[in-house]
A = this chain, B = another copy of it.
Amino acid sequence: MELIRENDYVIIFTAGKKYCVKVLQDKSFSTKNGTIKLKDIIGKPFGIEFEKHFIFKPTIEDIILFGLKRETQIVYPKESFYIAFKLGLKNGMKVFECGTGSGALTITLATIVAPDGFVYTYEKEKKFYKKAKSNIKKFGYEKNVKIFLKNIDEGIEEKDFDAAFIDVKEPWNYITLIYQILKPSAMLGVIVPTTNQISKLIPELSSKFSDIEILEFLQRYYKINPERIRPEDRMVAHTGYLIFARKVLKEI
């Protein structure tokens, strides 16, 4: 049974809400259901109910949704969890990402290539870079992430990547570059919010990649009353379109 230690991050779940909280001796945390002195949960096991608050060990979804400090729109779990596997990643692989944003996708990719693989991630905005770097460290993903404050327009130094994912405004500008750093047969993933971007991306992609797929996910939550099973009233209608394609070796 794992016990909560000082400086651990915990998820406090109460009144239908979740909070990611660092356990400090001298701090309290207040919710609708009252105030917890955090020193009181030190030494207790994860999973307890404590004064109407459930104390959980953070999963990666918790970290993404409630733990990361955000400066930007993030890639949400409904997409990022799919992306990591769709790219064909596994332990030991090397994946390129641009841009890092707040690091939500970065830590997802890091999880799947750990312990022996690496995410190389580029972020050109200093503000985002610092926040992402801090997020990655805070939750222990730094061993599998190499983060660079760097503009992809200046090129990519590493090569022989097993996969790549780019989340940038004009992805069509970087297809040749990405092509050069990928192993043949490797998967490239792209996320864009608009169909206009898809229209611009596909022609570039078609010249060097094959097996192009475009898709989107709708995730619908249900209310949990067993006598009244029904979807929630509202849902997220759109986060982005995902595009995947595989590098084709042109001349051999």
Contact = CB atoms under 8 A, between A and B. Distances in A.
Contacts of A247: 47
A111 interface: yes
Interface string A100-114: 000000001001101
A211 B54 CA distance: 9
A151 interface: no
A193 B45 CA distance: 35
A131 interface: no
Contact of A184 (B48, B116, B203, B219): B48
B210 A13 contact: yes
Interface string A54-80: 111111111000000000000001101
A195 B230 contact: yes
Nearest to A113: B91
Interface centre among A80, A186, A249, by most chain B C-beta atoms within 10 angstroms, is: A249
Interface stretch (A19-27, A31-39, A82-90): A82-90
Interface in A93-130: 108, 111-112, 114-116
A184 to B, nearest CB: 3
Given A86-B77, A248-B48, A228 B91 contact: no
